Chain A
């Protein structure tokens, strides 16, 4: 087991109302090389879990342990190691890259910060390799994010995260803002990278079809609580929880016959 979350709770103050509970006793674990999906609607708390996993925010109760490190209280060398081994890719291809840094500086920053290469030239070489690996042209490395399309920016974000060879990649809706044809490219890329680098992935998304495609294990969240967890086959083939079932029934499928059948079913349910 690489990372374990044990009964974390988090609330946000909403003075003068009572605080809003965002996470309640959430537990989950990730093994080496595993792809875990966190699904839920908006308000389910899945993004908050991602932030806790990345130590961007702290839960009020519970613990998070990564390879022996207490993440919530990590300092010094422990924290540095954690930061090298756990990385992220977030949703917004336009806001997730510093507009004033070139692609090379962005992708190479991790190498600089963790002193992983000797000198600027060595870094540039690594950056070029990484760019090719994610499907970008290394000749573009001195350009700024604004010269790249949405899909390309996500590739830069992925390269930036993976160049330091982390062991876990936390992705929060990484393809939601992309065109359909580009989404498929990035999904395939993530899958490739996962296999090549034996990377564990935590994939947070609302799109169940994408999650099913990438993740062998899935955790379903509803209003800050884990309502069901299981393998891909279990969740999609035999969902136990009513919420999970409702969620699955609402996933749009590009097949008119199925769409019509579902509508008829929903109509029948409401008239009963």
Chain B
């Protein structure tokens, strides 16, 4: 069989982003910027109570109004972004590292090790994150830390399973056989040849995961087993504003919208990366 009849341009299609893609990337960048620099620019008043001014509706002075402690809702969101997003990143990083390690060992090792690890992964898959979080909260006392640990412990199985499958497939590729014949060590084979060519799909997943993790962490905080008030974490903020839904809607809607927008933005980012990788998926 001859080489492709149309010698298409070897490089990927031009890196010109559509307006939609630019919007999503800008939004994510904006959220990350807030997470990193928010607390630096927020006024001190965010940390102090001012009961006299509590539950004020949105105004020129307070764009999203004030909460039950009189703190500016807008700036609290900005400050809370750091906790929320960094926790989400931490969770995803932790379970990814665990998942990648287990997948690599399973794919590289002997059959029996692979089987054992996959059975353990299956058990792990059966454990729902939120229930485990409740368990940890009961054991350690509810806190953001217990929620993060619980999510990290229950998040790795999916990564491990997906990645191990992909790695097994990549290992069938001719260039892997070529490296084996060259005498490349198992370690180098996995880290330099197999893993880099298997992570593509996972990067898409991880981008979206940051978004869903923000949502789950917020939910945990909302039911009281994650970050506790007076943390500015968005879920905790919603929890402490729960009683004021009908009287001061802005205290609930603002953080709620922040959670929603963030998780959607990261999800869309994942989609964009996926479409760019594989243009045949366009239109989904």
The 8 Å CB contact of B184, one of A56, A109, A149, is A109
With A80-B183, A147-B10 in contact, do A179 and B197 touch (Cβ < 8 Å)? Answer: no
Given contact pairs A88-B181, A150-B3, enumerate 4 new A-B contacts (beta carbons under 8 Å).
A84-B183, A99-B175, A113-B183, A179-B3
* Cβ-defined contact, B182 with A83, below 8 A: yes
A206–chain B nearest beta-carbon distance, Å:
12
Q: Which one of B2, B174, B193 contacts A179 once the chains associate, using CB atoms below 8 Å? A: B2
Contact A90 B178 (CB under 8 A): yes
Interface membership of B185, Cβ < 8 A? yes
Interface residue total, chain B, C-beta cutoff 8 A? 23
Contact of A98 among B2, B10, B181, B197 (CB under 8 A): B197
Residues of A within 8 A of B188 (CB): 113
Encode contact with B along A109-152: 1 for CB under 8 Å, 0 otherwise: 11001100000000000000000000000000000001101100
Q: Give which listed residue, A56, A93, A101, contacts B180 with CB less than 8 A.
A: A56
When distances are taken between beta carbons in the complex, the residues of chain A under 8 Å from B184 are: 109, 113
Q: Please give the distance in Å from B3's CB to the nearest CB on chain A.
A: 4
Residue on A nearest B188 in the bound complex, by CB = A113
Return 5 A-B CB contacts under 8 Å, by A number: A90-B177, A109-B182, A110-B183, A146-B11, A164-B182
Question: Which residues of A have CB within 8 Å of B2?
Answer: 177-179
* A114–B179 alpha-carbon span in the complex (Å): 12
Q: Mark B186-201, 1 if CB is under 8 A from A, else 0.
A: 0010001100110000
**For residues 1 through 60 of chain B, which have their beta carbon under 8 Å from a beta carbon of chain A?**
1-3, 7, 10-11
Residues of B within 8 A of A99 (CB): 175, 197
Q: Which of A86, A96, A161 contacts B174 (CB 8 A)?
A: A96
Q: Is the CB of A95 within 8 A of B11?
A: no
Q: A56, B181: Cβ atoms under 8 Å?
A: yes
Is A196 interfacial (CB-CB < 8 Å)?
no
The closest CB in chain A to the CB of B173 belongs to: A95
Looking at the assembled complex, report how far the CB atom of B127 sits from the nearest CB atom of chain A, in whole angstroms: 34
Contact B178 A157 (CB under 8 A): yes
Q: Tell me the number of A-to-B contacts counted with CB atoms below 8 Å.
A: 72
Q: Interface residue count for A (Cβ, 8 Å)?
A: 35
Is B174 in contact with A83, judged by CB distance below 8 angstroms? no
A160 lies within 8 A of chain B by Cβ: yes
Residue A44 interfacial (CB < 8 Å): no
A113–B182 touching, CB < 8 Å: yes
Which B residues are CB-close (under 8 A) to A110? Answer: 182-183
For B181, what are the chain A residues with a Cβ–Cβ distance below 8 Å? 54-56, 83, 86-88
Contacts of A88 in B (CB 8 A): 177-178, 181
Kindly provide the distance from the CB of A182 to the nearest chain B CB, expressed in whole angstroms.
8
Name the contact of A90 in the complex, choosing from B7, B11, B174, B196 (C-beta under 8 A): B174
Q: Give per-residue flags for A165-190: 1 if the beta carbon is below 8 A from chain B beta carbons, else 0.
A: 00000000000111100000000000
Residues of B within 8 A of A98 (CB): 175, 179, 192-193, 196-197
The answer to whether the Cβ of A228 comes within 8 Å of any Cβ in the partner chain is no
Query: Does B183 lie within 8 Å of A95, measured CB to CB?
Result: no
The 3 closest A-B pairs by CB, nearest first: A83-B183, A150-B3, A96-B174
Q: Residue A260 at the B interface, CB < 8 A?
A: no
A92 to B193 alpha-carbon distance, docked (Å):
17
Does A49 lie at the interface of the complex (its beta carbon under 8 Å from any beta carbon of B)? Answer: no
Would you give the shortest CB distance from A63 to chain B, in whole angstroms?
20
Query: How far is the CB of A207 from the nearest CB of chain B, in Å?
Result: 12
Which residues of chain B have C-beta atoms less than 8 A from A92's C-beta? 174
